Amino acid sequence: MSAASFSAAETQRFSSAVVDFPSTSSCFDIEALSLAYEGKPALRDLTLRVPRHRVTAFIGPSGCGKSTLLRGLNRLHDLNDQVTRNGHIRLEGQDIHGRDVDVAELRRRVGMVFQTPNPFPMSIYENVAYGVRLQGVKRKRELDEIVEWALQSAALWEEVKADLHASAWTLSGGQQQRLVIARTLAVRPDVLLLDEPASALDPISTLKIEELIRGLKSQLTLILVTHNMQQAARVSDYTAFLHAGELVEYAPTDTLFTNPRLRRTEDYITGRVG
């Protein structure tokens, strides 16, 4: 089914005003965000509020702009000077593109886990200590404590505690991804962005990651990009459906999956499109 066959009512965008979070405040406020690569639009006039200490899932067909949106939230696009942006992103009320914003500090607050695990070519310990050291922590005792805490939070401690000084590259894919999560947790972020964190993993590793995500929301805000509908349904509290750079529908996960307002959403989640 092509976009042309949607009715006019259906293609009308829903603003985040539709969703309110009765029990929490908003973490990210995205307002009229448009983003283009070399003039080619990838996000169009996107407005969305992400709730604090909840798991929000971004779903949508491949190439719809999920990763682009995620990378906008910690300003990874800054590295690419072909990217142009319009609109605002606020984190806890503060514009992340403001003049007085320290990008490195922003990225520490907004941690990111990528699709393929990317541990550094160092030991397990050094991987986790990496960001902590950047914060100026030098004392061995303190580092040891943070490393252990982070590895435990990422449910990896029991598997690696015997040899923390083994190379991170000797771990399995699932372990590596949990190591990357531990590494990110170690710098105490407020938000954790996860870009298809389990898509390269086997089912058992995927389950472990999902458990982990559910457990972490008491500590921080999580945003999960996934193309796996069941996964979104299992772990997220809110779900946003993106299509061709636009936000199509945004609702509490239960509502979106059981009672979508739009045909486009229904078609996608039932597997007829995308």
Partner 1 sequence: MRIPRVGGDGVWRWLSGACVALSLLAVVALLVLVVTRGLAHFWPADIEQLTLDDGQRIAGIARGSEAGEQRYFTANRDLDGEVWRWVETQAIERRETPPELLYAERRDWGPFIGRLTALETPAGERLQGAEAERRLRRALAGDAEVTTLHVRNVEGRALEVEFAQVASLSWPNRMDIGDKLAAWGHGVWRFLSEAPSDGNTGGGVWPAIFGTLLMVILMSLVVTPFGVLAALYLNEVARQGPLTRLVRIAVRNLAGVPSIVYGVFGLGVFVYGLGGHLDSWFFAERLPSPTFGTGGLLWASLTLALLTLPVVIVATEEGLARVPVALREGSLALGATRFETLRRVVVPMALPSMLTGVILAVARAAGEVAPLMLVGVAKLAPEIPVDGEFPYLHLDSKFMHLGYHLFDLGFASRDAEAAMPLVFATATLLVVVIVVLNLTAIILRHHLRARHRALEHS
Q: Give the Cα separation of 218 and 104 in Å (integer).
A: 25
Print the binding letters for residues 67-96 with ligand ADP: x by CB under 6 A, - otherwise.
xx-----------x----------------
* Phi and psi torsions of 32, nearest 5°: 50, 45
In the bound complex, what is the minimum distance in angstroms from residue 73's beta carbon to Mg ion? 14
In the bound complex, what is the minimum distance in angstroms from residue 239's beta carbon to ligand ADP? 14
In the bound complex, what is the minimum distance in angstroms from residue 128's beta carbon to ligand ADP? 27
65 binds ligand ADP (CB under 6 A): yes
In the bound complex, what is the minimum distance in angstroms from residue 26's beta carbon to ligand ADP? 23
> Among residues 131 and 260, whose Cβ is nearest to partner 1?
131
Cβ atoms 80, 38 nearer than 8 A: no
> Which stretches of 135-260 are DSSP H helices?
140-153, 157-160, 173-185, 203-216, 229-235, 253-258
Cβ atoms 129, 143 nearer than 8 A: yes
Q: Could you tell which of ligand ADP, Mg ion, partner 1, none binds residue 68, using a CB distance below 5 to 8 A set by kind?
A: ligand ADP
> Among residues 7 and 80, whose Cβ is nearest to ligand ADP?
80
The residue among 212, 211, 236, 233 whose CA lies nearest residue 223 is 236
62 binds ligand ADP (CB under 6 A): yes
> Which stretches of the chain are DSSP H helices?
8-11, 66-73, 103-109, 124-134, 140-153, 157-160, 173-185, 203-216, 229-235, 253-258, 263-269
Binds Mg ion by CB under 5 A, chosen from 67, 123, 177, 236: 67
Q: Which residue stretch of 64-72, 92-100, 171-179, 214-222 sits at the interface with ligand ADP (rule: CB under 6 A)?
A: 64-72
Q: Could you tell which of Mg ion, ligand ADP, partner 1, none binds residue 74, using a CB distance below 5 to 8 A set by kind?
A: partner 1
